[in-house]
Structure 1
Amino acid sequence: MYSMTGYGMGIASNDTYSIKVEMKSVNNRYCDIAIKLPKNLLSIEDKIKRIVKQNVNRGKIDVFINVDYINSKNVKIDINSALAEEYYNVLRKLNDQFNLDSEITLRDIYLMQGVIVSKSEEENTDEYFLLIEEALNQALKGFLGMREIEGENLKKDFEEKISKVYEISEAIKLRAPIALKENTEKLRSTISQNIDAENLDLARLTTEVAIMADKLSIDEEITRIFLHLEQFNDIINLKGAVGRKLDFLIQELNREVNTIGSKTGDIEILKNVVDLKSEIEKIREQVQNIE
């Protein structure tokens, strides 16, 4: 079981350049991967994304790739003269439009985006990709390791909370037959008091009470709660993406608890229902962090 939050970093280099890959993730219902890398490497973005997808199932993942040139002999600095001239003309136009008497300096132009361009004399995307893949695998190792550690911490937290849910559910289970018996007796008494004794059909009264008592029974809901809790404990011990399964189980648990609350009028059980809903909500919030 893995958390959806994590961070990893990797560095790989050769005689020409050094590549640093950083990746981080936060919660997301789907697998949303964003790759940020130099424009000259956009052609290999899909390859990088495929590698990440092979290792991650859910979460919003940001991957940052930075290239530093080590050997300056292999780097060419170039000027986009046409773009520089366009920037200059625009700056002059602004000067005239606002009646400014500002001097346009070289600094004003060369700091504009795209005027000065640095690139390797031999752009070899295959060579880039080999280094990126090496650094990415390092980053993934740390990234997945952090997600696994956080997943183990969440697992321990789940176990504590599920133990509390078990405890409250056991209290409801013990109280249920007592409450049902009390409700049945009250129901029988109420019906008897409101029916003419001379016209009382005892057999029919017994049948009606049994039917209504069955409707008030919460045995099935309690049984399903314990089944869901067993499933939950099994799932948190599995490897891989289990967040959606856990989310579904939490919905089912809530459904059973709400049904119990609607079927019973017993004060003690209703107090336990409130406590159960509180604990289940805490679990639901944590489940949102699971891949």
Structure 2
Amino acid sequence: MLKSMTGYGLAGFEDEAFIVSVEVKTLNSKFLDLSIRSPKQFSDKELEIRNLVSARLERGKVNVSIEFSKKSGEDLPVGFNEPLFAAYYQKYLALAELVGASSDDLFKLAIQSPNVMTQSMEKSNNAEDWEVVKKVIEEALISCDAFRTDEGEVLERKFDENLEVLRDGLKHVKIEDPIRKDRIRQRIRNNFKEWLEENDFDKNRFEQELIYYFEKVDITEEIVRLGTHLDYFEKNLKEGTGQGKKLGFICQEIGREINTIGSKANDASMQKYVIVMKDELEKIKEQSLNIL
């Protein structure tokens, strides 16, 4: 079963004490490229979060966003230096009275003064909080993994359709190949008939040259190898997960055989099937980059 590297998972938890929400988004990448956005009280849990993600998602560009808030209003994300605020306010008030200015905006001015409002760097001391958050992370990862599986099933069906097009193209190439060879023989016979009648030549040497020429344009081996590669690709579609890189390598081999058939055949009737196969292979290559 294939898995896509494109995925999305969302999980949440809420009770009378706090609200937790975790969102996981994934895209394709050669390796595990993880980005974590979490509250500062869980900044020491990054390694544990990374282990949770790698155990479930293996590979891809992964963005994990964690939201955690307490309903009680405790552990605010900012802190206030109240004595310093009061000192600023009294000083601004005295200055306003000194010049007879309005004191309407002094509160705003004092609260925005240097070092009055600071970002809280306290870490959660409640292990139970983290256990709840950890469970929600795992649920979001499971949801994302299920999304990837569903996407993989869609891609597998699409690959089956692509393979049918390639097999159909290969079938027509097999039909055209003996016709192409007859055309080559006829062309050689017509071009050289008159010349051979008027000139002396070594028939044995001429036959050897013809054999060498037909070996150069023969595509029997390429046809066989292409069929083998298509069978191998289909086999790997049905084998577990983690097939993305292998499918990419098989695509390279399929492309090599198709290109060789096109260049050696040098035949307009066959070339149209080669073009169709090349176009279909590009679709497979593009989608295989998204396979886990």
> Is the pair's TM-score, using the shorter chain for normalization, greater than 0.5?
yes
1:176 matched to 2:182? no
Structure 1's 172 and 67: CA in aligned 2 closer, same or farther, altered over 3 A? Answer: same
Which residue is equivalent to 2:75?
Answer: 75
Deviations 1:160-215 (A, max 9, x none): 11101100110001111221232234335545555575532112211111111011
Supply the RMSD in Å over aligned alpha carbons.
3.1
The residue that corresponds to 2:278 in the other structure is 277
Q: What is the identity, as a one-letter code, of the residue corresponding to 1:134?
A: K
Say if 1:276 and 1:114 are closer, same or farther in 2 by CA, change over 3 A: farther
1:238-273 CA-to-partner distances (Å, cap 9, x unmatched) read: 221111111111111111111111111211101111
Q: Which residue of structure 1 lines up, in the alignment, with residue 226 of structure 2?
A: 225
Displacement of 1:104: 6.5
Q: What corresponds to 2:61 in structure 1?
A: 60
Distance in 1 (CA, whole Å) between partners of 2:25 and 2:166 is 33
Structure 2 SS opposite 1:124: coil
Q: Which is greater in Rg?
A: 2
Query: Which residue in 1 is equivalent to 2:101?
Result: none
The normalised TM-score by structure 1 is: 0.83
* Partner Cα distance (2:173, 2:269) in 1: 8
Alpha carbons of 1:4 and 1:182: their partners in 2 closer, same or farther (altered >3 Å)?
same
Task: Determine if contact 1:225/1:253 at 8 Å carries over to the other structure.
Answer: yes
* Structure 1 SS opposite 2:266: coil
CA contact (8 A) 1:18 1:69 kept: yes
Check whether the contact 1:236–1:242 (CA below 8 A) recurs between aligned residues.
yes
Output aligned runs, 1:238-277, within 5 Å.
Answer: 238-277=239-278
Matched positions, count? 274
The residue identity in structure 2 corresponding to 1:148 is: T
Q: Call closer, same or farther: CA 1:111–1:127 in 2, change over 3 Å.
A: farther
Partner SS, residue 199 of structure 1: coil
Cα separation, partners in 2 of 1:80 and 1:186, compared to 1, 3 Å:
farther
Runs (5+) with no aligned partner, structure 1: 89-102
- In the aligned structure 2, how far is the partner of 1:82 from the partner of 1:2? 58
Residue 11 of structure 2 corresponds to which residue in structure 1?
10
Partners in 1 of 2:5 and 2:128 — Cα distance?
32
Q: Please give the residue correspondences for 1:1-291 in structure 2 after superposition, counting only pairs within 5 Å.
A: 1-12=2-13, 16-72=17-73, 74-75=74-75, 78-80=79-81, 106-107=107-108, 110=111, 115-117=117-119, 123-124=124-125, 126-187=127-188, 189-191=190-192, 193-194=194-195, 199-291=200-292
